[in-house]
Amino acid sequence: MSKPDDRSNNKERIENNIGHTLQNMDEAKDYAKAHSEELSEEEMSQIKEKNQRREESIEGLREEAKDEAHNQKDV
């Protein structure tokens, strides 16, 4: 028998993912700043591109968190 679908902690899980992603962005920025003289243009570009993807992911996660909060109110 399969487990019932428990979504009671989705909002908290999504908020946790947002926090981790923001932390990763900050760490990448700090790393790039501290090692800018040692990194090639390509490496710096990769860091910037990855942070851009992280930003886009955060936007989606925030929308998902809003949906979950709305769904929890309806239950």
DSSP 2-46: PPP---TTHHHHHHHHHHHHHHHHHHHHHHHHHTTTTS-HHHHHH
d(CA 49, CA 28): 11
Would you say 14 and 70 are in contact if contact means Cβ atoms under 8 Å apart? no
What is the reported pLDDT for 40?
Answer: 97
What is the reported pLDDT for 75?
Answer: 57
What is the reported pLDDT for 61?
Answer: 96
The list of the chain residues with pLDDT below 70 reads: 5, 74-75
